[in-house]
Chain A
Amino acid sequence: DQQVKQNSPSLSVQEGRISILNCDYTNSMFDYFLWYKKYPAEGPTFLISISSIKDKNEDGRFTVFLNKSAKHLSLHIVPSQPGDSAVYFCAASAVFTQGGSEKLVFGKGMKLTVNP
């Protein structure tokens, strides 16, 4: 049962345009959402996050939007740059009753290609 879904495996955009990466989740207990970026041969690096009490968080060229009623979040990159080409993972966390600890649930990732 995949609780965090990134339904599009890839996206290709032109440099300077907007990149929109989408993520859906099924568990209404999730209260914190993160985006990670991964280059080949490297581990994922944290990009931006959002708490469920917000609907938008912005950091430079990156903005994450959260729609709790739709259980949907998106990452906007404006303007897109060739260096943004990477695999992007959406992740969510919640307090699970088992063990009482929180853990991250990741989506399968989406490959973004920004063409010069």
Chain B
Amino acid sequence: KAGVTQTPRYLIKTRGQQVTLSCSPISGHRSVSWYQQTPGQGLQFLFEYFSETQRNKGNFPGRFSGRQFSNSRSEMNVSTLELGDSALYLCASSLSVRGSETQYFGPGTRLLVL
């Protein structure tokens, strides 16, 4: 099976712009989670989608939003970018929403906000 794919891999934006990141899960996986990784902060949970519904949300401002399509592909949007949004954004897919399900991560999208 193909792994989790994320596009684009690298992105440079300026403050105030908005950005959309895409994630294609492993075939058959219906749960997609998004994480932000910054130096010294580890992986911080953004949100999780299952069957096109947001099942859980982390402590991020409303500028961060997402959605999931019927084919389980997911997009994440960040509006009004700030310098602090520069990070590696990781997408992970799993069969279901249970925390005991192994999550398979994509390579990430590295976002740089200037």
Contact = CB atoms under 8 A, between A and B. Distances in A.
Interface string A98-116: 1101111111110000000
Contact of A104 (B40, B50, B103, B108): B103
Interface in B1-50: 4, 33, 35, 40-45, 48, 50
Interface stretch (B67-75, B77-85, B94-102): B94-102
| B100, B104, B108 interface centre (most CB from chain A within 10 Å) | B100
B100 A107 contact: no
A102 B107 contact: no
B43 A89 contact: yes
B100 A106 contact: no
A99 B56 contact: yes
Interface residues of B, number: 27
A36 to B, nearest CB: 8
| A49, A94, A96, A99 interface centre (most CB from chain B within 10 Å) | A99
Given A101-B55, A109-B43, 20 more contacts: A6-B42, A41-B107, A43-B4, A44-B105, A46-B104, A51-B100, A89-B42, A89-B43, A93-B100, A94-B99, A99-B56, A101-B50, A103-B48, A103-B58, A104-B33, A104-B99, A104-B103, A106-B44, A106-B45, A108-B42
Interface of B: 4, 33, 35, 40-45, 48, 50, 55-56, 58, 90, 92, 97-100, 102-108
Interface of A: 6, 32, 34, 36, 41-46, 49, 51, 89, 91, 93-96, 98-99, 101-109
